[in-house]
Amino acid sequence: MKSTRIKPPSTSNTGTTRLPNTPPEKKVMSTTPAHNKGTKIPMERLVRQLRLSKKNKDLSFRTTVIPDGAMKGRVIIEVLTKAGFRLFDLPPELRERIYGFVFAEPTGYKIDIYRSSIRMDAQRDFLEGIFLKKVVHGGDFRNVRTHKGQKWDDQRLKWIGGPPNVLSLLRVNRQIHAEATPVAYGTNRFVLYSNKFACAQRFIRVIGPSAQFLRDIQIRDISSLKQLHHILMALSNAPGVRRLVVPDLLATVSARSAAKNHDNPDSWACAFHKVIRLDLMDIKKKYKASNRCWRASDFIQFANESAPLDVAQLDKDFEIFEAAFREIARAYLDEE
């Protein structure tokens, strides 16, 4: 049945429109009060025919009499799409896949610490320092250019008017939180930026029990092996982390400067393990306690963040270092 927009009674008697409170998914087909003038088919019979048509299996129909206004008394056919599904009507396996698509962040979630100039109360001053620290999502948190069209709220320390954070979905209700948290934290990389130790420690504290689901963390711009050791201590409450990605500069600069022989990559590896050996052994114990078959010797991974002058030579030295690093780790961790 061809439909057009409703026209005044003096023109066509057949058309489509929306009533004032008709949802957008509804189409309203209009005709004369009792019959379709062109075919003389009673309205109720026409509705029955529409319902029985296989072409309309995804639609539903009903007749309504317009109560007042210029079209008062006119009988309309409301064409409605079938009601949408409810998320919790789906099997758990499908819900988990949906969560995976929703929370997927190919470049990782960027986590930073924002320090405000607002003084905290005396007790919190004593515990956490004189400035308020806030875990924030995204780099350049206070940069106006990265928050176009948004307004900064000094009281709540947040930007107003920006797009919603997808992680806010975890706050919808308890069931979604319980089902989606392992997916959100377990299938994405979390990249920690400035204030490395403070950022890692604060981030783990803020997400609380959800830290158990963390699997992949990257630390940017670490300048010393001592910092790495402190970060590993901060991550002790996240026993499920499988991969910690650190800059290759820890090997080519920090470990090299701490090594007995600065020109020998094998010596760099020994210096590296001198700092993190106990941490890796503790990680292996946690894996074993939770029946995980992951290798602690693969826990530390390296990302290329250096821009040296002699790239070819440094790449060769790094390959030697990494091979020695893995071999030493597998030896004292008793992993093949």
Domain ranges of the chain: 194-335
Rounded CA-CA distance 191/211 in Å is: 14
Rounded CA-CA distance 204/211 in Å is: 6
Rounded CA-CA distance 213/308 in Å is: 36
Amino acid letter, 319:
E
For 44-79, how does the pLDDT look when each residue is reduced to its tens digit (9 = 90+)? 777 677 666 656 666 677 778 888 777 788 887 777
Burial 50-84 (b: 16+ CB within 10 A, else e): beeeeeeeeeebeeeebeeeebeebbbbbbeeeee
| 3-state SS assignment for residue 274 | helix
CB 278 within 8 Å of CB 329: no
CB 137 within 8 Å of CB 111: yes
Rounded CA-CA distance 124/233 in Å is: 22
For residue 85, pLDDT over 70 is answered with: no
According to the model, what pLDDT value does residue 151 have? 78
Rounded CA-CA distance 251/315 in Å is: 11
Rounded CA-CA distance 190/108 in Å is: 5
Confidence of residue 156 (pLDDT cuts 50, 70, 90): low
Higher pLDDT, 6 or 77: 77
Higher pLDDT, 116 or 302: 302
